[in-house]
């Protein structure tokens, strides 16, 4: 019997007892205190009318104070029953009686991905599988979560490992099993699946890296720790030592400089396209990419808009970079020196700090609790705490706090105090990434995106978008280029790479006029994404 049914029966029994007892009291009181005889059924009728607030019949006045107080008490009890007790007991019963019953089995579905427990870590994957027309079945113990998933159009089976739910989800016909519960339950689910004869892929999202081996021994095909991957991605965006934005930039030597420069909102260049701004002609610099809302736009096109607060990636001589800063009002290159301020020292924040410390970065950790590794104890939402952590001198701020609302508010505070400092944010729910970017974050990434990309690559056999996209600089010879102009060869259109500079006779050429041609002794600098540089080397093989 449902809990609400038991409560309803208890209410009905108590109500009958209350009415009978009050009727007897009223019958005795009228006889002894008012000197008027009332039978049981007449007294029962009076009490029922009073408690239900429908009326009083023939009895309207009483001379005895005790009877008056008794009737007043009955009136308040009636109001309390109508407006307080019935909603608590009756409404839950009606909701359970008429709401849709949760499915207990998956039916005839086959070749599906079975996901044990829903959560942020698998939400992106579920959407990707739906787009790929791969059926999914989600096993969910929590009733509220299960109902929400059904409302969103997902196939859900309510149950737990203890009640044998794996026998009702078509496990033998599933292509993959993904365990997304606690580490101990993940191991139990995979072990139970293997004992049931399941031979497909069993993947587990693990919270503690030390649990990977035991879960593998339980029968997992592969285990992943998306929180640690997320921490690595956040650290990579904060430190060039972990992962430079432009890989192999050291090849360019002293004559070329790679710089990241933020476009201020009040700049005259903000909102213009590259063609309208004429950056190359006016400064001699090459724009090889732009960070906008955490997304790297590369290679840039002539019609690419220079976004307010966007970060341009520039390649040029030191003097040309200086000219660009003068052209773009109040533009400042991103700081390459100074501490990295990390707000939050949980699992993700701890991994970020570990990676940054290992490469020699100075890290200032802010956390509410005093413990080893925390330099500033306090709330990251307190401007005084941020100032105490040296926000103004920081080269980046990484927010790894508990909730997305706190992350969003902290982003606004940091941008108000130090608008030039990049904000890198850990997000819990994928749908909040865009909101936190709008709050001012330069880079925001959710656990759902990370795990979704990892699992999509495994299940769909497709390349996932890198959580830390890079540009690469190639220093190559002119093989296949000699005697031609860059525009004539259509290098960017065919490969996605840009020729950013040519070293010729100890001189650096960055502007390619109509008479320019590659010569046999040139050293050519080419920049593009990993895929683009790979395509360039396939088209123009180097010895």
Q: Nearest Cα to 492, choosing from 197, 290, 289?
A: 289
Per DSSP, the residues of 69-128 read HHHHHHHHHHHHIIIIIHHHHHHHHHHHHHSPPPP---TT--S-EEEES--HHHHHHHHH
Q: Which residue has 């208890």 as its token pair?
A: 10
Contact 454, 464 (CB under 8 A): yes
Does residue 165 contact residue 137 with C-beta atoms inside 8 Å? Answer: no
Torsions phi, psi for 91 (to 5 deg): -65, -45
Q: How distant is the alpha carbon of residue 506 from its chain centre?
A: 49
- Report the number of secondary-structure helices (H) and strands (E) in the chain: 20, 22
- Find, among 308, 301, 294, the residue nearest to 436 by Cα: 294
pLDDT at 449: 84
Q: Give mean pLDDT, residues 495-505.
A: 85
> What percentage of the chain has pLDDT greater than the value 70?
90
Rounded to the nearest 10 degrees, the angle between the axes of helix 40-51 and helix 65-80 is 50
Residue 467 clears pLDDT 70, i.e. is over it: no
Question: What pLDDT is recorded for position 22?
Answer: 85
Question: Which are the contacts of 350, defined by CB distance < 8 A and separation ≥ 6?
Answer: 231, 373
What DSSP assignment string belongs to 170-229?
TGGG-SEEEE-S-HHHHHHHHHHHHHTT--SEEEEE-SSGGGHHHHHHTT-SEEE-HHHH
In the predicted model, what is the mean pLDDT of residues 199-207? 93
At 91 the pLDDT is: 66
Which SS3 state, helix, strand or coil, does residue 349 take?
A: helix
Tell me: pLDDT of 465 over 50.
no
pTM of the model: 0.69
Backbone angles phi, psi at 49, to 5 degrees: -65, -40
Nearest 5°: phi and psi at 116? -90, 105
Q: Check residue 113 and give its pLDDT.
A: 95
Q: How far apart are CA 370 and CA 377, in angstroms?
A: 6
| pLDDT for the residue numbered 468 | 52
Task: Give the pLDDT of residue 398.
Answer: 96
CB neighbours (10 Å) of residue 11?
17
Q: Which residues pair with 482 in a beta bridge?
A: none
Please compute the mean of the pLDDT values over residues 285-305 and round it to a whole number: 82
**At CA 508, angle to CA 507 and CA 510, rounded to 5?**
145
Three-class HEC string of 254-299: CCCEEEEEECCCCCCCCCCEHHHHCHHHHHCCEEEEEEECCEEECC
Higher pLDDT, 43 or 349: 349
Q: How far is CA 278 from the centre of its chain?
A: 38
Q: Which residue has the higher pLDDT, 520 or 94?
A: 520
Provide the pLDDT for residue 456: 82
> 241: which 2 tokens?
């030592």
Q: What is the distance of C-alpha 358 from the center of its chain? A: 26
Whether 196 and 166 have beta carbons less than 8 Å apart is answered as yes
Residue 274 to residue 287: CA distance in whole angstroms: 9
Q: What is the pLDDT of residue 197?
A: 93
Q: Assess whether pLDDT exceeds 90 at residue 298.
A: no
- For residue 89, pLDDT beyond 80: no
Domains recognised in the chain with CATH numbers: 3-98 (1.10.287.70), 113-224 (3.40.50.720), 340-460 (3.40.50.720), 471-539 (3.30.70.1450)
Task: Tell me the pLDDT band of 249, cut-offs 50, 70 and 90.
Answer: low
CA distance 85 to 87: 6
Q: Please choose, from the candidates 74, 95, 78, the residue with its C-alpha nearest in 3D space to the C-alpha of residue 4.
A: 95
- Grade residue 383 by pLDDT with cuts at 50, 70 and 90: very high
Q: What is the predicted pLDDT for the residue at 245?
A: 66
CB 299 within 8 A of CB 495: no
Q: Locate tokens 């840039």: which residue?
A: 300
Averaged pLDDT score across all residues of the chain: 85
Contact by Cβ (8 Å): 304, 367: no
CB burial of 106-131 (b: ≥16 within 10 Å; e: otherwise) equals beebeebbbbbbbbbbbbbbbbbbee
């Amino acid at each position: 019997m449902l809990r609400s049914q038991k409560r309803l029966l208890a209410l009905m029994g108590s109500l009958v007892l209350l009415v009978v007892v009050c009727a007897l009291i009223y019958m005795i009181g009228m006889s002894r205190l008012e000197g008027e005889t009332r039978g049981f059924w007449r007294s029962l009728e009076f009490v029922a009318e009073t408690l239900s607030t429908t009326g009083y019949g023939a009895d309207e006045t009483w001379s005895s104070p005790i009877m008056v107080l008794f009737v007043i008490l009955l009136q308040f009890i009636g109001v309390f029953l109508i407006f307080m007790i019935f909603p608590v007991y009756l409404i839950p019963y009606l909701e359970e009686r008429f709401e849709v019953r949760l499915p207990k089995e998956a039916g005839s579905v086959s070749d599906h991905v079975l996901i044990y427990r829903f959560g942020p870590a698998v939400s992106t994957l579920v959407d990707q599988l739906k787009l790929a027309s791969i059926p999914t079945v989600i096993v969910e113990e929590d009733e509220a979560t299960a109902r929400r998933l059904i409302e969103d159009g997902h196939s859900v089976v309510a149950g737990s490992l203890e009640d044998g739910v794996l026998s009702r989800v078509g496990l033998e016909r599933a292509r993959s099993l993904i365990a997304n519960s606690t580490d101990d339950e993940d191991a139990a689910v995979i072990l139970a699946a293997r004992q049931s004869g399941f031979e497909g892929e069993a993947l587990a999202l693990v919270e503690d890296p030390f649990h990977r081996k035991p879960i593998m021994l339980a029968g997992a095909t592969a285990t992943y720790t998306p929180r640690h991957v997320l921490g690595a991605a956040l650290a990579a965006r904060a430190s060039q030592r972990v992962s430079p934005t432009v890989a192999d930039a050291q090849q360019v030597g002293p004559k070329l400089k790679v710089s990241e420069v933020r476009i201020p909102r009040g700049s005259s260049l903000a909102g213009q396209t590259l063609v309208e701004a004429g950056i190359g002609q006016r400064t001699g610099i090459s724009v090889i990419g732009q960070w906008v809302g955490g997304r790297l736009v590369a290679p840039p096109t002539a019609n690419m808009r220079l976004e307010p607060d966007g970060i341009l990636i520039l390649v040029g001589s030191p003097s040309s970079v200086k000219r660009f800063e003068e052209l773009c009002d109040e533009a400042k290159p991103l700081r390459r020196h100074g501490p990295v301020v990390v707000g939050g020292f949980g699992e993700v924040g701890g991994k970020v700090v570990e990676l940054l410390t290992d490469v020699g970065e100075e890290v200032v950790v802010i956390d509410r609790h005093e413990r080893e590794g925390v330099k500033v104890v306090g709330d990251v939402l307190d401007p005084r705490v941020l100032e105490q952590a040296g926000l103004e001198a920081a080269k980046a701020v990484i927010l790894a706090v508990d909730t997305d609302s706190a992350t969003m508010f902290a982003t606004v505070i940091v941008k108000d105090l130090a608008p030039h400092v990049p904000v890198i944010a850990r997000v819990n729910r994928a749908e909040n990434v865009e909101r936190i970017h709008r709050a001012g974050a330069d880079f925001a990434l959710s656990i759902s995106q990370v795990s979704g990309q990892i699992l999509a690559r495994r299940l769909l056999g497709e390349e996932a978008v890198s959580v830390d996209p890079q540009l690469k600089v190639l220093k190559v010879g002119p093989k296949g280029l000699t005697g031609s102009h860059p525009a004539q060869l259509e290098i960017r259109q065919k490969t996605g790479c840009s020729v950013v500079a040519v070293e010729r006779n100890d001189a650096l050429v960055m502007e390619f006029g109509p008479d320019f041609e590659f010569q046999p002794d040139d050293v050519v600098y080419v920049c593009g994404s990993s895929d683009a540089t790979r395509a360039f080397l396939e088209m123009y093989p180097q010895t």
